[in-house]
Amino acid sequence: MKYSQFNTLIPYKNNYVFHNSFTNKFLFINPLLKELIEASKNENNIDELKDIHIDLYNSLVDLGFLIETKTDEIQKVKGLIHTVDYNDEEYYLIINPTMNCNFDCWYCYETHERQSRVLDTSLDKITLFISNIIQENKKLKKFTIQFFGGEPLLYFKKTVLPIMKFIYQIARENYIKLSINFTTNGYLINNEMIEYFVKYEVNGFQITFDGNKENHNKVRFVSKNKGSYDKIVENVKKLVKNKINITFRINYTEKNLIGLDEIFNDFQDLSMKERNKMMLSMNKVWEEKNKNLGKEVVAFKEKAKTFGFKIPDSLLSDRVRNSCYADKYNQATINYNGDVYKCNAREFDKNSREGVLNKAGYIDWNEKRDYRMNIKLKNNACLECKILPICGGGCSQQAIEYDGRDYCVNDYDEAKKEDIVLGMFLSENLENV
């Protein structure tokens, strides 16, 4: 037997958290057991551990800390990544109905194309595409559709509604579990739309706030004298009252973290059950240079939890088993004009498109898609890393952008890697340690 390369030992409150990132299992051990483990490892005498402490030895084997000597651990991670990213039971489709937007946020990476929207011919191609995927993939069980953009609600009746109607019907007929989601600024939502969202069983919305009312209105405004905060808060409340889930995204900066708690006052009138429909997602604005905002963010998260917001499951820190949709083979991002991409966090320019939707409702992928699907696990540092099975070397887009250079998405910082592991452990076990 040998010790797994994916073991991490972290001191915590006079004891130690022992983690294996391939099995994602933890042991909370005392210093004596830690000494035994280290001694057997350093003296390369694992079998002796069996004689000294058989229960410890068996636990280490069961939880994957100790593995067969001949095991190729990198190969196992490759297999895991392949299983997750080539899952053929699910399809994830992102549609950009337009690249236009009713706001002009300073940090937005998208170029707003004022006249852009799905024309009737593209609409036919999109519905044909959905139909082909659902009818030709016999193993398919779940279809997720996400309306992105631009602001996807700008041309709601002409583009989004016909697609929603179509997919709702065809998914039902083929016994496919459907999940409909929107990433929107939330301003344009009205009562009529909400009736459709309920009718077509829309699952969730991601709606972004840029701080409290004052800060938000500096970024997202209708005119010089008219902000958007009150209207968006009102719309979020209407959605949760209709049992629709909200990912409550906060784009934070050093400045807008100040006074952020005031947000809670604006949702006081919701019941605990309604507040629980809102999942908090804290995202640092990419231009923000201050790297030391962690404490403020954690403090805000704790208040949000007490207030009744849901906090994301720590297991989501496992970026391999929960890889980004863009890493998956069964995923496409279709732009309003029929250009196809994978990642939707970069500009949608012609040079980076990975395919084109054709008249028959199929995607003609170019070589960029194969390149993306084969980009993972090429970075030397990752192959020696103890958290590779939960980091995966970052997402496919990061791997593409670093291609040819050595990199680490955690700055080669062992303390940062340990923080990720400890964060996962504490969110599962805080009450018990």
Give me the residues that bind ligand SF4 (CB under 6 A), please: 324, 326, 343-345, 379, 381-382, 385, 387-388, 391, 393-398, 408-410, 417
The distance of closest approach from Cβ of residue 396 to ligand SF4 in the complex, given in angstroms and rounded to an integer, is 5
| Residues whose CB falls within 8 Å of the CB of residue 432, separated by 6 or more in sequence, listed in order | none
Closest CB to ligand SF4 among residues 277, 319? 319
Report the C-alpha gap between 78 and 267 in whole angstroms.
45
Closest CB to ligand SF4 among residues 275, 417? 417
The distance of closest approach from Cβ of residue 344 to ligand SF4 in the complex, given in angstroms and rounded to an integer, is 6
Closest CB to ligand SF4 among residues 8, 212? 8
Length of the chain: 433
Report the C-alpha gap between 338 and 356 in whole angstroms.
6
348: left (phi over 0), alpha (psi -120 to 50) or beta: beta
* Pairs from 303-308 (Cβ < 8 Å, separation ≥ 24): 303/261, 303/264, 304/264, 304/280, 307/264, 307/267, 307/275, 308/270, 308/272, 308/275, 308/276, 308/278
Partnered with residue 95 across adjacent β-strands are: 147, 334
Q: Tell me the three state secondary structure of residue 160.
A: helix
The distance of closest approach from Cβ of residue 333 to ligand SF4 in the complex, given in angstroms and rounded to an integer, is 9
The distance of closest approach from Cβ of residue 367 to ligand SF4 in the complex, given in angstroms and rounded to an integer, is 18
Report the C-alpha gap between 327 and 321 in whole angstroms.
11
The distance of closest approach from Cβ of residue 11 to ligand SF4 in the complex, given in angstroms and rounded to an integer, is 20
Closest CB to ligand SF4 among residues 59, 317? 317
Q: Tell me the three state secondary structure of residue 291.
A: coil
Report the C-alpha gap between 169 and 182 in whole angstroms.
19
Report the C-alpha gap between 297 and 283 in whole angstroms.
10
The distance of closest approach from Cβ of residue 320 to ligand SF4 in the complex, given in angstroms and rounded to an integer, is 9
Closest CB to ligand SF4 among residues 94, 180? 94
Exposed/middle/buried for residue 217 (C-beta within 10 Å: 0-12, 13-18, 19+): middle
Closest CB to ligand SF4 among residues 153, 385? 385
The distance of closest approach from Cβ of residue 32 to ligand SF4 in the complex, given in angstroms and rounded to an integer, is 30
Whether the CB-CB separation of 196 and 161 falls below 8 Å is answered with yes
Closest CB to ligand SF4 among residues 49, 320? 320
The distance of closest approach from Cβ of residue 324 to ligand SF4 in the complex, given in angstroms and rounded to an integer, is 3
Closest CB to ligand SF4 among residues 192, 347? 347
